[in-house]
Amino acid sequence: MDKWTELEVFVRIAEEASLTRAGDSLSMSVSGVSRYLMHLETRLGVRLVQRSTRQLSLTSEGEKFYTQAREIISHMLDAEASVAAGASNPTGRLRVGASLSFSLLHLMPVVEQFRQSYPNVTIEIVSSNRYYDIVENGLDLAVRTRRVEADSSITIRRLAETRRLLAASPAYLERRGMPQHPQDLADHDLILYTLADSWNQFSFRKGSEQVKVEVDGIINANDGQLICVAARDGLGILAQPAYIIQKDLEAGRLVRVLDDWDLPRLTMNIAFPTKVLLPARTRLFIDFLIERFRVGEYERIWTQ
């Protein structure tokens, strides 16, 4: 039987001094109340209630157990009320992992919006272009551009798919010309992201045609923001996810190169430890992030 229900039944019996009244207050039959009491006494190995045909009273052991059981129930109810309140007014610290580019461009707006709604939550952003172990580093969630997690204890929620694009500044293209075919990249200056999979090889696809090009950059860096600065300054052609360079494209600071050819796309996911019940602050932040992507139609924009 449920130990919590046993305590509730016993405390109600002690307060009502009657099995019948205890059953009425708990919407339980007298026989049900009696079964819970008998099971509790059997489990503890002591008689808690002295019963007769006319009255019911607690034994000395029952009196002692009643005092402790009442306190336990009171603490449990307080704890439940506190947690329930926290679901609508969450508190505590939220550790979020993401790349520097994603943090600057897409995470900070969500943090600002989230803090306006839930000011008692402290946000700690752990920014890195390498993937931290979520559990070992105490992250509540992380945004990744990979499809799966090696750790089966990590849950994934999809955010969006994004193209990887080649782009360069108008000044560079005016000076060096626009490549017409992937093989033309051999005659151009490239700016490459060294943490990408197969960073020194581009695998292009256009319809049924596939082309692989070995590449090397005049500038190679492990951060997308450095690469964007170099490309905007006219130093060469970069290869970056659309979510990083979309604003530069819209503003005309960068121009797409070989846009009719497609590089392998990236899937952006939210990864977080698998739990039966997530803390309210984690669940709400995930909802905020997913809603921002939905309203902004980012996947539609980034896959064009």
The residue with tokens 């700690």 is: 124
Average pLDDT, integer, range 218-246: 95
Sheet holding 219-221, edge to edge: 219-221, 190-193, 237-241, 164-168, 255-257
If you ran DSSP here, which 8-state letter would residue 1 be given?
Answer: -
The residue with tokens 């492990």 is: 222
Distance CA 232, CA 219 (A): 13
Residues 6+ apart with CB under 8 A from 77: none
Distance CA 106, CA 267 (A): 15
The residue with tokens 């009171």 is: 74
Q: Is 126 helix (H, G, I), strand (E, B) or coil?
A: strand
Strands (E) located in the chain: 49-51, 56-58, 92-98, 121-127, 141-144, 154-162, 164-168, 190-193, 201-206, 209-214, 219-221, 237-241, 255-257, 266-273
Instruction: Return the pLDDT at 150.
Output: 66
Length of the chain: 304
H-assigned helices in 90-169: 100-102, 108-117
pLDDT bracket for residue 153 (50, 70, 90): confident
Domains belonging to the chain, first-starting first, are 3-88 (1.10.10.10), 92-161+267-302 (3.40.190.10), 164-257 (3.40.190.290)
Instruction: Return the pLDDT at 209.
Output: 94
> Residue 289: is its pLDDT beyond 70?
yes
Q: Which residues pair with 87 in a beta bridge?
A: none
Amino acid at residue number 186: A
Q: Is 116 helix (H, G, I), strand (E, B) or coil?
A: helix
Closest CA to 16 of 31, 35, 30: 30
Q: Which residues pair with 280 in a beta bridge?
A: none
What does the block give as tokens for 85? 């309140």
Closest CA to 98 of 302, 277, 285, 294: 285
Instruction: Return the pLDDT at 87.
Output: 57
Per-residue pLDDT reduced to its tens digit, 184-227: 999 999 999 998 888 889 999 999 999 999 999 999 999 999 99
Distance CA 138, CA 166 (A): 36
Average pLDDT, integer, range 265-269: 93
Distance CA 85, CA 81 (A): 6
Average pLDDT, integer, range 118-142: 88
What is the chain's mean pLDDT, rounded?
89
Average pLDDT, integer, range 274-291: 86
Residues 6+ apart with CB under 8 A from 189: 172, 176, 217, 218, 235, 236, 237
Distance CA 227, CA 219 (A): 8
